[in-house]
Structure 1
Amino acid sequence: VANSEDPTPDHKKLQSKRRVILSDITLKIRHEDHFHNSRLNYLEAIDHRLIQHWIDTLCVDVESGSKAYDRRCRKIKAIAEIYNKILEKTYHVPTRLRDYHVRELLEVDVDREIAEQIRYLYDLEFKRWAEKHKRKEIVFHNKVRLDEKNSGHSSRIGLFDANNELMYGLWHNTLFTRIKPSARRQYITRTRLRAAALFGQKLVIDFGYEEYLNGIAAKQVMTFLAKLYEFNKYHLTDSYDLTFCNLNPNGPMSVALNNYFVGHPLHEYYIQTTADSYLNHYDYDKLCYICPQADEPLTSYDNDTVYILPAVCHHRLDPPLSMTRVKLEGIPMKRIPVEEYGSFRDGFHLEMAEHLEILSHFRDNNDMTKAMAYYLPQSVWRDERQVLTEDQEAIKRMFYMKKIGSQRKLKIYRSVDDKV
């Protein structure tokens, strides 16, 4: 059973309508006299000149001399007479009757409705004026109130009062300082990177292949490097200590790094850079090169090992080139065990950022399967149906090539026999 005290929708509408009526009555009681006095100098009766202007403007679409033209002219004169009568009696007319007002009044046939429409235009004008005047009064009263409140001070804002003592409050001193979220985040990340530079595990980025990169490949490497840095800075609680080795200070990668870090030196971001090889800075026995072309998979993680990632685009670099120098140096090479878990779709390759994501997850959870499942979506893997289809197509191509080869050999043998 509904509560009898709860207002029904009709009752709510009635209450809202009553509030509007009371508000309008209050406005009229308080401001109507002032409104009349403010526009006494502007109220004028409609004369023949204005009537002729309306006839010339609003009777353009009607042929002059026709019955419709005469009817519209009489209607315009009747509207002017009604306006003048209301003006003489109550002043409840708009200050100026615009052309579009007269155009709307021409559509009304009854004189009483025309008079009501004119009074409605007056009410609209009065309400707008009253609300504007009310806002001015509120601003004025607020200013007076604030002036009275701050009359003992030389200024509404400031740090010291007239006696040179600290003032606390709004627009004055405060015990609390506003800290932006960006500043808080920057403080946390810089603290994390500072701790990583002192106590974190070393991660080396090898720029030794810079001479083999063209402009497009260099831009892609910079994109991968930016993703790696952002991931190490924001998404890792235990960040790595980054070191850039074999970096030419006058090369294109140095220019790209300066543009990315807006001209600030890299040591401000806790990144060490050197043009020397990593062999001159770390123990030989603690180095491990992570490369997709390596033969041995990475099955265990060592926190004391210095892992090295090449700053290259693996899909743009010749595979022997990325392995020759490391093999000559004798550094152990390992790869992320992708082949043991599946195969990628065509066009996808593990780059620097993906290597770091998988390495960090493998370090924290000691599970390579979960690491690849967490950071590599299912869309980059080939499913069994696709693998089977590609294998069948490869077999068909192989048999086709064998068939073509045997046919060519047969043609050669026949040509030799014919010559013999």
Structure 2
Amino acid sequence: MTRLINSLMKSWTNSIVRNNGIKRDLHIMAVSCKDQQQKQNPTPQLYENARQFKEVTVNQFQMLFKTSPKCKGQIEEILNLYELEKYTTQQVPSILSVNDMKRLLSTYDDEKELRKMIKFFYTRECDKFNTHKKKFYKKQEILEKKREKYGENDEWEQGVFNRQGHIVYGLWHNSLISRITKQAIRDYRNNHISRQTCLFGQKLIVDLDYDQYMKPSEIGLLAKQISIMYYENRVNRDYPESLPYDVHFTNCRVGENTVNELSRHLKRMDDLKQYYFHPESYLSRPDLFPKNKLIYLSPHAKLSLKQYDHDDIFILGGYNDRSSHRQVSHVKAQSEGIRCYRLPLDENVLWKQGDKNLCLNQVAAILHAVKATGDWQVAIRKFAPQRKVRSLEEQHLEDQIRMKTIAKRLRRMERSYKFIQ
């Protein structure tokens, strides 16, 4: 039955692609056949065939084309491309949300970028599905190991009642001693560190004034880098003896793509907007950010930051550029009259491959390591990408090869000098 359905689907999809038309009945029939197979097998394994497509229509995006009627035609063309990719490559998400459609509409003019965005939604959905699948099977393995170890004895279980419904007294059950979880200890530690950071921590600014220079895919990567930087700075696991940075975000205007994308990654963004997300520039807040202490970090700056000052306020440009590599942050710092420096990469390590533009979270980690240790070389080797920096062994081998070539050259010069005499 399944072979017959697959052969029919292949033949029908080929005819549909030739005629440049899409029929959603194929997809509905395939899903219904999967449901019938699952009904025949009453005990299917969870997460094996959980990814099923849902029907997507134009009426689901009425709020987008109510104001502009042209948007409706664009949405129809995007859905036609979505259906075509579904039946040819199947590398599409199971459903498109309103936010996803907004991002697709922003890349409507470029068909290549539109296909990339649809594929990105597919990989994002697969990553979420795989993480949930791993968590589920890990829980099942832990339960099986505990059952093998304890058998029918339910002392390892936690709760007020046992399997028979009787009240259980003891630790992790009905007891005067309450359970203190790891999450509660972690929250208490993080809240204590955040209070100390607000009072005595060194300020770090992330400038979000580069929306017009980035594509939607680059904005998504930037938001992910900022979320990683914010989490690592808050946890402060590498150097707990040093306070983390007091991170502030400037030029956070309402409706900007970076701010909207960042709100998806930072869960507590609405609670922190009043104190850490500033809609104005850092120059308009001299009470918080004095201009004489501001330092803009840019990879295109001429001067390198050799000495770290704990009183300075560093500014990181929220700019992710993978194609044109424009010197936007350097030009902005010069126009505003702010000191601009780059990280001392060439002075401390040998570069192996790739450009010297590091991610936002990597720059923040290097700065925090230098603040705690004062050693630029150790910080860069630890947090810079390992594929880009030469290791100590490679550097030692290159020095040996260089010394051998110099020795050979000196011997040739001695021989030629003796021959001349």
TM-score (norm 2): 0.48
| Structure with max Cα Rg | 1
TM-score (norm 1): 0.49
